[in-house]
């Protein structure tokens, strides 16, 4: 039996500012970048980690949403309107727990995968409940998985996804550093991605936010963008600008 053809993927990376604690402004920013990606006929857009209130914002206790819920429903409407898949990081509420969650929404607006961050820092466990499960799903002829930020830097997690058949890992991120340390931090992150993808037929596509960390234990640090894409054998395919918002584009071959 002939295998179904796989088309190249035009991916938009939404390197956007996330304002801690300001859900309304963040949703408007997300809306604008999705519209931009749709108008440029992207097949998929990926958005950063904790895009509703910002990573480790206490506002998540108030603003986290169920999945499915109003925010994911809105994203589903955009996915259908632009015939474009969406990967997004958000704060999810289930019962008394808040999870640092990523979703993959297909072009028909369906949630086809959900991942809850596993490698969460100890300081974040005061707010988020740690995830447990890994998942690989079929997406338009490819095997894809979600992780979140530091999950990608954990060798056994990436290795597990690879052994489960993952060909692409989409990774919403919120990495930050002290002002002036952006280049050093980005270089370290590149090393992690390169180590995870070297000698594997595997892509990692990350989207990082920009902006100031204005609360919590990381107050004073900055989210500096520099979203990155790595391909098989550790090839760097994209390195976004530092401290600059915008829609970045990358093409994954068939």
Query: How high is the pLDDT of residue 78?
Result: 99
User: How many separate domains does the chain show?
Assistant: 1
pLDDT for residue 84 is more than 80:
yes
d(CA 45, CA 49): 13
Using 50, 70 and 90 to split pLDDT, how confident is the model at 159?
very high
pLDDT for residue 4 is more than 70:
no
Query: How high is the pLDDT of residue 138?
Result: 98
Residue 217 lies in a domain: yes
Residue 115 lies in a domain: yes
Residue 4 lies in a domain: no
Query: How high is the pLDDT of residue 114?
Result: 99
Residue 3 lies in a domain: no
If you average pLDDT over residues 163-179, what whole number do you get? 98
CATH assignment at residue 212? 3.60.110.10
pLDDT for residue 72 is more than 80:
yes
> CA separation (Å) from 200 to 40, 157, 165, 194, 239?
31, 14, 11, 10, 20
Percent of the chain whose pLDDT exceeds 70: 98
Residue 1 lies in a domain: no
Query: How high is the pLDDT of residue 201?
Result: 85
Percent of the chain whose pLDDT exceeds 90: 95
Q: Which residue has the higher pLDDT, 241 or 154?
A: 241
Residues 245, 251, 253, CA angle at the centre, nearest 5°?
160
If you average pLDDT over residues 165-189, what whole number do you get? 98
Give the residue numbers spanning the domain of 212: 9-252
Residues 6+ positions from 95 with CB-CB distance below 8 Å:
none
pLDDT for residue 3 is more than 80:
no
Give tens-digit pLDDT for 26-52: 999 999 999 999 999 999 999 999 999
Using 50, 70 and 90 to split pLDDT, how confident is the model at 5?
confident
Residue 66 lies in a domain: yes
Residue 78 lies in a domain: yes
Say if residues 92 and 116 touch (Cβ distance below 8 Å): yes
Residue 167 lies in a domain: yes
Is 176 strand, coil or helix? strand
Query: How high is the pLDDT of residue 1?
Result: 45
């Amino acid at each position: 039996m002939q295998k179904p053809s796989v088309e190249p993927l035009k991916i938009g990376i939404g390197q956007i500012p996330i304002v801690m604690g300001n859900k309304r402004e963040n949703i408007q920013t997300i809306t604008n970048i999705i519209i931009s990606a749709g108008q440029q006929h992207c097949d998929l857009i990926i958005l950063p980690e904790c895009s509703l209130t910002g990573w480790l914002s206490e506002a998540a206790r108030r603003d986290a949403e169920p999945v499915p819920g109003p925010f994911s429903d809105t994203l589903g409407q955009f996915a259908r309107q632009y015939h474009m898949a969406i990967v997004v990081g958000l704060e999810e509420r289930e019962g008394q727990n808040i999870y640092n969650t990523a979703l993959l929404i297909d072009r028909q607006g369906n949630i086809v995968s959900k991942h809850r961050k596993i490698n969460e820092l100890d300081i974040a466990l005061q707010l988020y409940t740690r995830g447990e499960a890994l998942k690989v799903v079929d997406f338009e002829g490819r095997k894809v998985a979600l992780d979140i930020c530091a999950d990608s830097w954990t060798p056994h997690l990436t290795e597990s996804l690879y052994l489960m058949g993952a060909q692409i890992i989409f990774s919403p991120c919120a990495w930050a550093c002290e002002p002036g340390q952006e280049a050093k931090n980005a270089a370290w992150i590149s090393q992690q991605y390169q180590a995870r993808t070297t000698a594997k037929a595997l892509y990692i596509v990350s989207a990082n936010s920009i902006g100031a960390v204005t609360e919590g234990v990381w107050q004073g640090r900055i989210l500096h963008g520099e979203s990155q894409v790595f391909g098989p054998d550790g090839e760097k395919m994209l390195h976004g600008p530092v401290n600059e918002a915008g829609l970045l584009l990358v093409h994954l071959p068939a």
